[in-house]
């Protein structure tokens, strides 16, 4: 991708994520001016024949305002209640504004399990493609009403990146209350400079991320960088920009100097490996020695029993496991051919001894390289 060519007019499919602070006032009441401005830009893209998905935050924040609460709820049940109220308010507003431009919208509520379960992942993909065929703009949010800690995304930045990969989008736009990625916090350092292009998310880039943005939201620059990383390895161009910027989406599409652009990585992951890396649920850990780590990282090999030193967790064949190197850090993730109980029995053994130890041998490898993704 030529980083000098910022114009995205030829892109067909895009995901636009808007944060809580962009759809609600600090009181929690809906920011109708901002929402109408967003809707007008998306409706115009739709009229050009673009396929657009809107990922919206704000259900909990809007529900907080509707219920007259002084602050965002802290407990999961209270957040769920606020989301149940706020999501209805949000969709009513979106339907009204989009309807004024003759555009039909459809609500899609997702949880982490809709991505980690391969069948549900494909069902969600098919449903979104069907909405495109009907000329509908999907309005997506996390299903906060039923989500609990184990299945929460925690922020809609990650959700939007997963959705972009799910539908093979070309462009992901993350809109919030900040202009993009800065060299320092612009609210504290007057010398902070906006970074216009990022080709790789290095530790130095990660160190620029601060905390959460507003009292109504859960995400911050750190979650946006994680979302950008996911999108980059999915072949998706990502732009972080300020929602309040005049005609910000039109400016981005036209290639004007606005926001921070994250360009796709050269090593785009194929669909299956992308799912393993970012969507599947990690069910356990497999610890490996120095030789196995080197074979995986440097030689593109599969993981064999001889290099395994330990197992953690209770998992079955076909589950995703985290592969941990001798220094305690994750070096890869993959789909295991053997259960945790079986791996515990054959760890450190030669492949030829698997049948003798277990009484059978279905595979030589614990994780085949075709089902393995190195940590990104």
Whether the Cβ atoms of residue 169 and residue 15 lie closer than 8 Å to each other:
yes
Q: What is the tens place of the pLDDT at every residue in 56-106?
A: 988 888 888 888 888 888 888 888 898 899 899 999 999 999 999 999 999
Is 202 assigned a ligand-binding role in the annotation? no
- The pLDDT of 275-299, averaged and rounded, is 93
Which has more pLDDT, 191 or 41? 41
Residue 272 in tokens: 């299956």
Confidence band, pLDDT 50/70/90 cuts, at residue 214:
very low
Yes or no: domain 281-374 corresponds to CATH 2.30.130.10: yes
Residue 194 in tokens: 């906006």
Is 156 assigned a ligand-binding role in the annotation? yes
User: What pTM does this model have?
Assistant: 0.84
pLDDT of residue 74: 84
- Is the pLDDT at 259 greater than 60, yes or no? yes
Residue 239 CA to residue 213 CA, distance in Å, equals 17
What is the CATH architecture assignment of 13-272? 3-Layer(aba) Sandwich (3.40)
Which has more pLDDT, 51 or 270? 51
Backbone dihedral region of 153: left (phi > 0), alpha (psi from -120 to 50 degrees) or beta?
alpha
- The pLDDT of 295-318, averaged and rounded, is 96
pLDDT of residue 211: 45
Is 327 assigned a ligand-binding role in the annotation? no
- Is the pLDDT at 263 greater than 60, yes or no? yes
Is 116 assigned a ligand-binding role in the annotation? no
Is 154 assigned a ligand-binding role in the annotation? no
Q: What is the tens place of the pLDDT at every residue in 73-84?
A: 888 888 889 889
Looking at the chain, which residues constitute the CATH 3.40.1160.10 domain(s)? Answer: 13-272
Is 5 assigned a ligand-binding role in the annotation? no
- The pLDDT of 52-59, averaged and rounded, is 92
Q: Please give the order of strands across the beta sheet that includes 197-198.
A: 105-110, 137-142, 51-56, 13-18, 171-176, 237-242, 260-262, 197-198
Is 177 assigned a ligand-binding role in the annotation? yes
- Is the pLDDT at 215 greater than 50, yes or no? no
Is 79 assigned a ligand-binding role in the annotation? no
pLDDT of residue 216: 38
Is 199 assigned a ligand-binding role in the annotation? no
Is 238 assigned a ligand-binding role in the annotation? no
Is 2 assigned a ligand-binding role in the annotation? no
Is 285 assigned a ligand-binding role in the annotation? no
Residue 79 CA to residue 85 CA, distance in Å, equals 10
pLDDT of residue 88: 92
Is 111 assigned a ligand-binding role in the annotation? no
Q: What is the tens place of the pLDDT at every residue in 135-164?
A: 999 999 988 777 665 446 657 898 999 999
Q: What is the tens place of the pLDDT at every residue in 311-344?
A: 999 999 999 999 999 999 999 999 999 999 999 9
Looking at the chain, which residues constitute the CATH 2.30.130.10 domain(s)? Answer: 281-374
Could you tell me whether strands 330-335 and 372-374 are parallel, antiparallel, or unpaired per DSSP bridges? antiparallel
pLDDT of residue 376: 66
Highest mean pLDDT among 73-87, 158-172, 265-279 belongs to 158-172
Residue 376 CA to residue 331 CA, distance in Å, equals 9
């Amino acid at each position: 991708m030529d980083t000098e060519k910022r114009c995205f007019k030829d892109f067909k499919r895009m995901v636009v994520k808007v944060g809580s602070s962009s759809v609600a006032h600090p009181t929690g009441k809906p920011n109708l001016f901002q929402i109408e401005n967003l809707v007008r830009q998306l409706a115009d893209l739709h009229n050009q024949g673009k396929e657009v998905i809107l990922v919206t935050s704000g259900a909990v924040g809007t529900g907080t305002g509707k219920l007259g609460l002084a602050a965002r709820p802290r407990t999961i049940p209270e957040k769920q209640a606020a989301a149940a109220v706020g999501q209805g308010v949000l969709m009513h507003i979106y339907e009204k504004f989009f309807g004024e431009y003759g555009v039909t919208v459809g609500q899609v509520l997702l949880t982490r399990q809709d991505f980690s379960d391969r069948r549900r992942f494909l069902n969600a993909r098919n449903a979104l493609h069907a909405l495109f065929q009907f000329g509908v703009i999907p309005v997506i949010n996390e299903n906060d009403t039923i989500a609990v800690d184990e299945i929460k995304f925690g922020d809609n930045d990650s959700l939007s990146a997963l959705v972009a990969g799910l539908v093979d989008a070309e462009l992901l736009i993350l809109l919030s209350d900040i202009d993009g990625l800065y060299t320092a916090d612009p609210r504290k350092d007057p010398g902070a400079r906006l970074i216009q292009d990022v080709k790789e998310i290095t530790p130095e880039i990660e160190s620029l991320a601060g905390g959460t943005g507003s009292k109504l939201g859960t995400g911050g620059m750190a979650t946006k960088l994680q979302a950008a990383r996911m999108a980059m390895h999915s072949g998706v161009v990502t732009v972080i920009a300020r929602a309040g910027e005049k005609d910000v989406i039109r400016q981005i599409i036209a290639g004007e100097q606005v926001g921070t652009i994250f360009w796709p990585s050269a090593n785009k992951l194929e669909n299956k490996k992308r799912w393993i890396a970012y969507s599947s649920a990690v069910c356990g850990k497999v610890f490996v020695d120095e030789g196995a780590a080197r074979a995986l990282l440097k030689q593109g090999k599969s993981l064999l029993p001889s290099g395994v030193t330990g197992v953690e967790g209770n998992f079955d064949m076909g589950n995703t496991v985290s592969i941990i190197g001798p220094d305690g850090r994750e070096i890869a993730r993959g789909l295991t051919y053997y259960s945790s109980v079986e791996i515990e029995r054959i760890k450190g053994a030669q492949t030829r001894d698997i049948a003798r130890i277990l009484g059978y041998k279905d595979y030589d490898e614990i994780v085949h390289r075709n089902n393995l993704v190195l940590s990104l």
